[in-house]
Amino acid sequence: MAISGALPELVSPSPTPQPRFRYLWFMKNLLRLILVVAFVPACETEGGSFPGGADSQRGRPGAQSAAEASPPTDPGADAEIAPDAMNPPDAMNPPDAANPAEPDIPPEGGAAQPTATPDPPERDFFLFERPETVRGLYVNSWSAGSRRRLAALIALADSTEINSFVIDIKDASGYVSHPSEVRLARDIGATGEIRIPSLSYLLGKLEEAGIYPIARIVIVKDPLLAAARPDLAVQDTAGGVWVDGKGIVWMNPYQREVWDYHVALAREVASWGFPEIQWDYVRFPDAPASEIGRTHFPGGNGQAKAEAIRDFLAYSRDGLADMGVRVTADVFGVTTSATRDVGIGQVWESFIDVVDVALPMVYPSHYWKGSFGIDTPNAYPYEIVRSALEEALKRSAEMPGAGATRPWLQDFTLGKPRYGAAEVRAQIQATYDVGIDEWILWNPGSRYTAEALEPLNGFAEEPLVRIANELIPVSRRFELYDTTTVIVGEDPPEGSEGTPAGKKGNPPRR
């Protein structure tokens, strides 16, 4: 609406008013003019192309806020920690299931209302103090980039024992979550799907909340790098790039350029203030022997796989030493008890002294029938986690300079029973009972069982835990721990390490 065309019509009446009505006529048209002036800007605002408050990115043409962006079908399930059987995470963990989404935190006195608080000033460095014990949650890049989800997760941490977040910097899609300046990342298109628009905003919120951030970086699963640099991928003896039976291309852990790319990404986020780097998919591919038989690893020169993984971890630690950050690595849960390489290059003694922390994924659902003498491992979360970690500590005690052990624990359902507060708390308690005070929960959708976490002021009622496949008060755990139903365990067949009970196929991803 344009004022110049409408205004004369509104303020110029056809008949000339009589003298006694001139005052009323003047006031009437003055009021109409005021209404026109007020109405036009309102119309332009309502009809504008870029609605959105201070908490929205829609004020930029073509942009969509991270909170509103639709995540891919499987956010986070590409992670090594999540087995293929867990895909898609939405099917495994529907919002109304045992792992409900944390509700948005409404203001006092009513439902949540949009706010228009200004963003904090942009910064490029943040300082975090490491907590005495790390107790954390995995936060996928979509959740980290969503202001609504981030606020809900911070609220959960503020009210419980949680003090750390593991945040995706590069996941198995190959995309870097933030607007990276690393040249290779930009050249291969790894910055083409930004999920965390502002590291400054994210780290500012975590610093304000006192939450310790850990940067998770996936290494050998990177389809973008493989497409741009196929020479850095695992090769096929028949020629070209090797593709496993699931259509996955793997990067070659022997290639120094693969190492350098990821160390560059780690240095970039360390320069922002991330105090800890967590390597994931730091291993060789797992596949049936018939498929592995076609693999060729240029640069290997006969070096053992476990030595190559050790060399990368040592190289990355040296490459980050001047940054003052801790270097950690996610490893298969089976590495705590397997005395040989199961084919992926992860042997406990070969890496534990070149990392600050090793994070074995001791998910009960990932263990085969008969593991630690237990017939149905998934139904015995306390016993499986305790047994696995006892093995880890025993082996670390014999290694000079061994790093700490901090387990990944299961907050998702894969098979029976359905995992809820009792199953998650049983794993946490098992961690404490072996003398480890640190742990991180994994859920691919970053939706956690709040009831399993200890409130800041302690549990109002004694929590239940699943031990010996029964739900009992945690104080009674030692009464039943030694009565666990067992079977006469036999060593799993060659190549079956890590196969969950009742499952067929390869060892679980990660």
Residue 393 lies in a domain: yes
Q: Indicate whether 50 belongs to any domain.
A: no
Using pLDDT thresholds of 50, 70 and 90, give the confidence band for residue 305. very high
Reported confidence tier of residue 448, pLDDT bands at 50, 70, 90:
very high
Q: What is the band of 11 on the pLDDT scale with cuts at 50, 70, 90?
A: very low
CATH of the domain at 163: 3.20.20.80
- What DSSP line would sit under 241-288, residue for residue? B-B-TTS-B-B-TT-HHHHHHHHHHHHHHHHHT--EEEEES-S-----
Q: Using 50, 70 and 90 to split pLDDT, how confident is the model at 332? A: very high
The pTM score is: 0.76
Q: Dihedral, CA atoms, 338, 344, 349, 355, nearest 10 degrees?
A: -130
% of the chain surpassing 70 pLDDT: 71
Across 379-416, b (16+ Cβ under 10 Å) vs e yields bbbbbbbbbbbbbbeebbeeeeebbbbbbbbbbbbbbe
Residue 310 structure tokens: 């050790």
pLDDT in tens, 358-404: 999 999 999 999 999 999 999 999 999 999 999 999 999 999 999 99
Does residue 503 fall inside a structural domain?
Answer: no
Contacts 24+ apart (CB under 8 A), 348-353: 348/392, 348/395, 348/396, 349/395, 349/399, 350/306, 350/307, 350/309, 350/310, 351/306, 351/309, 351/310, 351/313, 352/395, 352/396, 352/399, 352/402, 352/403, 353/399, 353/400, 353/401, 353/402, 353/403
Say which residues have a Cβ less than 8 Å from residue 497's Cβ, sequence separation at least 6: 334, 338, 342, 368, 507
More confident residue, 189 or 504: 189
Q: Tell me the chain's radius of gyration from C-alpha atoms.
A: 28
Mean pLDDT of the chain: 80
pLDDT at 490 (0 to 100): 40
Domain of residue 423 covers 84-101+121-481
* Res 73: pLDDT: 34
Q: pLDDT tens, 218-242? A: 999 999 999 999 999 999 999 999 9
Higher-pLDDT residue of 122, 132: 132
Q: What is the pLDDT of residue 27?
A: 54
Q: What is the mean pLDDT of residues 4-20?
A: 37
Q: Which of 22-31, 111-120, 384-393 is modeled with the greatest confidence? A: 384-393
Q: What mean pLDDT is predicted for residues 46-56?
A: 30
Say if 385 falls within a structural domain. Answer: yes
Amino acid 411: pLDDT: 98
Residue 324 lies in a domain: yes
pLDDT at 41: 39
In a domain, residue 236? The reply is yes
* Domain tally, the chain: 1
Residue 249 included in any domain: yes
What is the spatial distance between Cα 43 and Cα 61, in angstroms, rounded to a whole number? 19
Lowest-pLDDT choice from 64-73, 187-196, 340-349, 463-472: 64-73
Is residue 55 a part of any domain in this protein?
no
pLDDT higher for 489 or 185? 185
Residue 118 has pLDDT above 50, yes or no: yes
Over range 166-177, report the average pLDDT: 98
- pLDDT number for residue 32: 53
Given this model, what pLDDT does residue 121 score?
74
pLDDT at 36: 41
